[in-house]
Structure 1
């Protein structure tokens, strides 16, 4: 994904991109001075940014596979209490999401946190970066 020595490699670009998205500064990826990727890969990075930003914006721990698995087969009272507690910890879960998306090249943790409907798209992005 890179050719010019002033450009970062794909793994480093992924780190920069996810850090910018997690800081709500993903629009800086539009600026070549802030995001030094090759011109022919810019569309990929913009699409990747948009997808990750959308997943992050829509993120709800209660809808995650991890939470769903944790309440499977539990009583209604348990589910109600667990859901209420999860809502109270939403900032903590968002922080966990941010760490997981930034580490997605090294760990599959993010797939426990995002809806299964988003898995294929994220796996495609990660495979392209690792290629």
Structure 2
């Protein structure tokens, strides 16, 4: 039996400056930390075969999932079913920190990108592909 892996999200969020960093990747899900700078966004996207849960830790923002848009505060959680268009924008004056759980994994195990441009480039080149299922 595997040892329990324990993560203290507020501590990770406090020290996390990268746009996106994969914390843990399992066979069926993945834990990723994100920090979006003021005025920044994840970018409109759709994950065809991946469900996503996003939990907001610090900052304020606005989330659009499908046709609905809502204000977001620390403690809020958004569920994005596979195949649903979504975007999350930092509307505050401090970084918007969140963690997200992808099921199945969406990104390369251990991947970390300092900013959205680097993350987008890695995805476009295939460098940020999830582990083979």
Identify the TM-score tier after normalising by the shorter chain. under 0.3
Q: Greater strand percent: which structure?
A: 2
Q: Greater helix percent: which structure?
A: 1
TM-score (norm 2): 0.26
Which structure has the larger Rg over C-alpha atoms?
Answer: 1
TM-score (norm 1): 0.26
